[in-house]
Amino acid sequence: MNGKGDIRRHIHQGVPVRASRLMEIGLLLETRGGMTAGELARHFEVSVRTIRRDVDALAAAGVPVYADRGRHGGLRLLEGYRMRPPGLTADEAASLFLAAVPGAARDLGRAEELASAELKLMAGLPARLRPGAGTARERIHIDLPGWFGEEDHPVHLEALAEAVWRQQVVEIRYQRWRGEVTRSLEPLGLVLKGGAWYLAARVGADVRTYRVSRVLELRITDERFERPEAFDLAAFWQTSSADFVARLHPERANVRISPEGRRMLDGLFERSVREAIEATSGTPDADGWVVADMPVESFDDFWEGGLLRLGAQVEVLGPPALRARMAAVAASLADLYRRSP
Residues 70-84 have pLDDT tens digits of 666 789 888 877 765
At 57, the amino acid letter reads A
State pTM to two decimals.
0.48
Given this model, what pLDDT does residue 217 score?
A: 95
CA–CA dist 235, 39 (Å, integer):
45
Given this model, what pLDDT does residue 277 score?
A: 82
At 94, the amino acid letter reads A
Residues 257-305 have pLDDT tens digits of 999 988 888 777 777 777 778 888 888 999 999 998 887 766 655 544 5
Supply the DSSP string of 268-283, one letter for each residue: HS-HHHHHHHHHH---
Segment 86-92 long-range contacts (CB within 8 Å, at least 24 positions apart): 86/4, 86/23, 86/120, 87/120, 88/117, 88/120, 88/121, 89/113, 92/116, 92/117, 92/120
Residues 22-43 have pLDDT tens digits of 778 888 888 788 889 889 999 8
- At residue 234, does pLDDT exceed 70? yes
Distances (CA, A) of 222 to 168, 170, 206, 321: 7, 9, 22, 56
Residues 109-168 have pLDDT tens digits of 656 665 666 666 565 555 655 565 555 455 545 555 555 555 567 889 889 988 998 999
Given this model, what pLDDT does residue 297 score?
A: 64
Can 3-77 and 157-234 be said to share one CATH topology?
A: no
CATH class entry, domain 157-234: mainly beta
145 three-class SS: coil
105 falls in which pLDDT band (50, 70, 90)?
low
Specify whether the backbone of 67 is left (phi greater than 0), alpha (psi in -120 to 50) or beta: beta
Phi, psi of 126 (to 5 degrees): -60, 150
CB atoms within 10 A of CB 74: 18
Given this model, what pLDDT does residue 106 score?
A: 60
Cis amide bond preceding 154, omega within 30: no
Residue 303: HSE in the Cβ half-sphere, 13 Å Cα cutoff: 3
Instruction: State the burial class of residue 224 (Cβ atoms within 10 Å of its Cβ: 0-12, 13-18, 19+).
Output: exposed
Whether the Cβ atoms of residue 250 and residue 293 lie closer than 8 Å to each other: no
Given this model, what pLDDT does residue 133 score?
A: 55
Given this model, what pLDDT does residue 3 score?
A: 43
Given this model, what pLDDT does residue 215 score?
A: 94
CA–CA dist 224, 305 (Å, integer):
43
Which residue from 178, 245, 248, 172 is spatially nearest to 210, judged by alpha carbons?
172
318 three-class SS: strand
Least confident piece of the model among 140-144, 170-174, 246-250: 140-144
Percent share of the chain, pLDDT over 70: 66
What residues does each domain of the chain span? 3-77, 90-139, 157-234, 249-338
Domain topology for 3-77: Arc Repressor Mutant, subunit A (1.10.10)
